[in-house]
Amino acid sequence: MKLEEKLCIKFIWEPGAPNIYLNKISLPKSEINSIIDLIMNKKKSLKNRFSYFSNNTLNDIQEIEKIISIKEKILKKEEDEFIFRGIIELYQKIIEICTVQNDDGFQKYIDKLHKIIEKYDGFKKIEK
């Protein structure tokens, strides 16, 4: 029986991450490229799934609404003050954009903003 040569891959996760992981995997030389391809495909998939993000230069109301929708789904699953504050800031951003554009449609966003604030205040009362 012939022993296949093995190689070792060392994973060093992103610097600055809250946890530091140093992982090593030993596997047959013939499988190393398939493992690297698998990891790179997973990385690409994750990047695609998290393509929506908020930044101060975002001025497209539809994009901001998509980000709000994602954040609201997260907030429904788990109360998170950081997510809540992000939603508030995004609604304020939409209201600001509508005001600058002289768009009277901002009232529906004011209403949505009030509803999410009321709902979050309800969470805070249940906590106490």
Q: For residues 76 and 120, state if they share a domain.
A: yes
Q: pTM for this structure?
A: 0.56
Domain that holds residue 22: 6-49
Query: In this structure, is residue 54 part of a structural domain?
Result: no
Query: In this structure, is residue 109 part of a structural domain?
Result: yes
Distance CA 51, CA 60 (A): 15
Q: For residues 30 and 84, state if they share a domain.
A: no
Number of domains, the chain: 2
Asked if 13 and 3 touch (Cβ cutoff 8 Å), the reply is no
Tens digits of pLDDT across the chain (128 residues): 456 677 777 766 666 666 666 667 777 878 888 888 888 888 777 766 665 665 667 788 888 999 999 889 888 888 888 889 889 999 999 999 998 888 788 889 999 999 998 887 755 554 54
